[in-house]
Amino acid sequence: MISRDRDAAGRARNDRPRDRLGRPLPPGSAGVARIPDDLELGPQQTLAFAQQLLDDGLAFNAHEVLEAAWKNGPVAERMLWQGLAQYAVGITHLQRGNSKGAVTLLRRASGRLDDYPANAQQHEVDRAGLIAHARILLAAVEAGATITDDQLRPRLRREPT
């Protein structure tokens, strides 16, 4: 039987280092800094941290930050945070060259963001902009077009007017 890394509560946890795209590296390798599993930030700090990671091309790490908000945040906001986390995973799949996975996650993320109550304007998240951006990425994947690194750095919040 294969032994798995476990946290103090006995949940499975992979402590192996990871590369910039979140892929596990051999034990003892130098990887990028991991996001703690117990990360608890306020919504504005979460969005700022995730945005910085996306801007740095670290969509997998942004996903981990957003996933922590999804798991630790208010139940009423879970669909929002889950959609954002899935969006970051969709971008991670694009970075890794996995078009099929990217399409699945971007569609799922767009659906969650679209289904989130229209009157909910939590934390200035640019839901409409992210959904439109996902459609652009999905069309590019379908067309077999090249997607630039800049296209993989979406803005999570609405720009101030």
pLDDT above 60: residue 1: no
Please classify residue 93 by burial: count the beta carbons closer than 10 Å to its beta carbon, then call 0-12 exposed, 13-18 middle and 19+ buried.
Answer: buried
What pLDDT does 3 receive? Answer: 58
Given pLDDT bands bounded at 50, 70 and 90, which one contains residue 31? confident
* Homologous superfamily in CATH for domain 43-152: TTHA0068-like (1.10.3450.10)
If DSSP codes are grouped into helix, strand and coil, which group holds residue 71?
A: helix
Distance CA 158, CA 64 (A): 22
Q: Is residue 41 very low, low, confident or very high in pLDDT (cuts 50, 70, 90)? A: very high
Residue 118 has pLDDT above 70, yes or no: no
Q: Report which residue type is found at 116.
A: Y
Domain boundaries defined on the chain: 43-152
Q: Is the pLDDT of residue 73 over 70?
A: yes
Residue 17: band (very low, low, confident or very high) from pLDDT cuts 50, 70, 90: confident
Instruction: Give the residue with greater pLDDT, 29 vs 148.
Output: 148
Q: Indicate if the pLDDT at residue 90 is higher than 80.
A: yes
Say how far residue 76 (Cα) sits from the centre of its chain. Answer: 19
Whether the Cβ atoms of residue 109 and residue 79 lie closer than 8 Å to each other? no
SS3 97: coil
The predicted pLDDT at position 120 comes to 60
Q: Write down the pTM of the prediction.
A: 0.86
Q: Given this model, what pLDDT does residue 15 score?
A: 75
